[in-house]
Structure 1
């Protein structure tokens, strides 16, 4: 039930302004690990992305936007940085990869392992 509660209440939270400090913090976080995934705990596409990374033994840093107080603000900052409004929002070596369908396609084509090498 907590996932449903999180999902429903996420519509009623308000986002703060996306400041230069927010954008700088996002960029710093993105550069802090080989793979960074911005996610929401209840999102099936996020779960699929995380499962893929786990299945290939890839360590990754995850930020669950629905569990932190400034999650909506960070998601708006990610929209400014990437043009992508949805989660998961995946970065490899500081480069924006896209979402679940993008990382799944990279894996299917064999290109994901090249990016992770």
Structure 2
């Protein structure tokens, strides 16, 4: 995990409080972004389907998080999981706490 691309992915993860690795056409990605919009929380979305290195990044995310599916949502460098995970945290009122902590 010391390849230049892996280092780039780790830098992307730490580049903002909320980072969402996404694909523009993915309904779960849209769900995750809509939830952060409802919280009025800014986020950085990295749209993997619009990048030449998207598949490579998705593979690295799989190594880091144990799952290659999108979205991969990070808050303060910690992976929360995907769209359903974010929705569950939001519905329990825990997501806002994680973002504001």
> What is the CA distance between 1:100 and its match in structure 2?
0.5
TM-score by length of structure 1 reads: 0.82
The equivalent residue for 2:4 is 21
> What is the CA distance between 1:56 and its match in structure 2?
1.2
CA distance in 1, matches of 2:69, 2:60: 12
CA distance in 2, matches of 1:105, 1:51: 13
CA distance in 2, matches of 1:106, 1:74: 25
CA distance in 1, matches of 2:46, 2:96: 22
The equivalent residue for 1:61 is 44
Aligned runs of 1:75-114 on 2, under 5 Å? 75-114=58-97
The equivalent residue for 1:33 is 16
Give 5+ residue unaligned stretches, structure 1: 1-17
Give the number of aligned pairs.
100
Q: How large is the Cα RMSD of the aligned pairs?
A: 1.1
The alignment partner of 2:20 has SS state of strand
- The structure that has the greater radius of gyration is 1
> What is the CA distance between 1:103 and its match in structure 2?
0.5
CA distance in 2, matches of 1:92, 1:19: 22
The equivalent residue for 1:48 is 31
The equivalent residue for 2:54 is 71
Q: What does the per-residue CA deviation read over 1:17-68, in whole Å, with 9 as the maximum and x for residues that have no partner?
A: x861111111111011000000000001101111111111010000000001
Q: Runs of at least 4 residues of structure 1 off by over 6 A?
A: none
